[in-house]
Amino acid sequence: MLDSLKRFAQESWLLVAASLVCGLLLAATNAALGPRIEMNKTLKLTSLAANLLPEATSFTPLPEPIEVQGLDGRRESAVVFKATADDRLVGWAFKVTGSGFADKIELVTAVDASFQKLAGYDVVTSSETPGFGDQIKDNYYRSQFSGAPADKFTLVGGGAANPQEIDSTIVAISGATISSTAVVQAMNHYLPQFKEQLQQKGLIGHGSNP
């Protein structure tokens, strides 16, 4: 018994020692870099949102995340950022997800203070086809959402409406119907939910009066 124990110890002492060393290294690095990593995650969203709401000087996340239902029916918890300029409410920013041609599309969306108009969106993550669906990152498609009413959007084909007119009708990118639909679908699915939740929390008013 003692013999086999001794053999076991001989074979594996190095493994145990190495595991301890590696474990310590990992724990130390994680402790040192952890906070910075967390900060980077929020910074990514807020820096994109800052471009959409240029007046805002600070973005503070709401203390409690909002429960929304994803496109697949699953419950997700989402963080909403309050955009302020010296204590004056400028707008709200949050992330919406759509299912695109290649993979999921994540957009950071900003709305004005009363959740009446969209300030616009920017793409956080997407793997759409370069030159086609990738154009959801370009101004042609994005500008149609800037200043549009934060209500249900309808997607139409090119030529059926004027893309310069900012309203609830969105002209799809030619050759990229699925990617265009993904953005509209994401907006239509998430905007009402965020609006309702913010109204429930009493953070924005009801009705269409500013």
Partner 1 sequence: MAATPDGQSVYAEAVATGLWREIPVFRMLLGTCPTLAVTAAIKPALTMGLCVIFVLVCSNIMVSLMRKGLRPHVRILLFTLTIAAFVTIADLFLRAYQPAMSEALGPYVPLIIVNCIIIWRAEARASTSGVLVSIVDALAMGAGFTIALCVLATIREILGTGRLFEIQVLPKAFPAWAAMGMPVGAFLTFGFVLGFINYVSRKRS
Partner 2 sequence: MDLVYVLLTGFISVVLINNLVFTKFLGICPYIGVSGRIDMAFGMGLAVTFVMTLSGTLTWMIDHWLLMPLNLEVARYVAFIMVIAAAVQLVEMYLKKFFPPLYESFGIFLPLITTNCAILGLCLFLVVWGIGTLIEAVVLSFGGGIGFTIAICIMAGIRENMQMVDVPESLRGAPITLITAGLLALAFMGFTGII
Q: Which of 27, 39, 43, 160 binds partner 2 (CB under 8 A)?
A: 27
Query: With CB under 8 A, what is the number of residues at the site for partner 2?
Result: 13
Binding to partner 1 by residue 3, rule CB under 8 A? Answer: no
Residue type, 113: A
Q: Of 185, 110, 174, whose CA–CA distance to 148 is shortest? A: 110
Q: How many CB atoms lie within 10 A of CB 33?
A: 11
Binding to partner 1 by residue 12, rule CB under 8 A? Answer: yes
Q: How many CB atoms lie within 10 A of CB 146?
A: 15
Binding to partner 2 by residue 22, rule CB under 8 A? Answer: yes
Instruction: Say how many residues make up the chain.
Output: 210
Footprint on residues 29-58 left by partner 1 (CB under 8 A) = 29-30, 33, 36-37, 40-41, 43-44
* Beta bridge partner(s), residue 195: none
Q: Which does 72 bind (CB under 5 to 8 A by kind): partner 1, partner 2, none?
A: partner 2
Dmax (CA) of the chain: 86
Q: Which long-range contacts (CB under 8 A, 24 or more apart) does 156-161 make?
A: none
Angle at 121 between CA 120 and CA 125, to 5 degrees: 175
Of 96-104, 116-124, 152-160, 199-207: span binding partner 2 (CB under 8 A): 96-104
Footprint on residues 128-187 left by partner 1 (CB under 8 A) = 129-131
Q: Of 145, 134, 124, 159, whose CA–CA distance to 188 is shortest? A: 145
Binding to partner 2 by residue 67, rule CB under 8 A? Answer: no
Q: How far apart are CA 127 and CA 103, in angstroms?
A: 6
Of 18-26, 78-86, 167-175, 197-205: span binding partner 1 (CB under 8 A): 18-26
Nearer to partner 1, 24 or 156 (CB): 24
Q: Rule CB under 8 A: which residues touch partner 2?
A: 22-23, 26-27, 29-30, 72-74, 101-103, 178
Q: Rule CB under 8 A: which residues touch partner 1?
A: 10-15, 18-19, 22-23, 25-26, 29-30, 33, 36-37, 40-41, 43-44, 125, 129-131
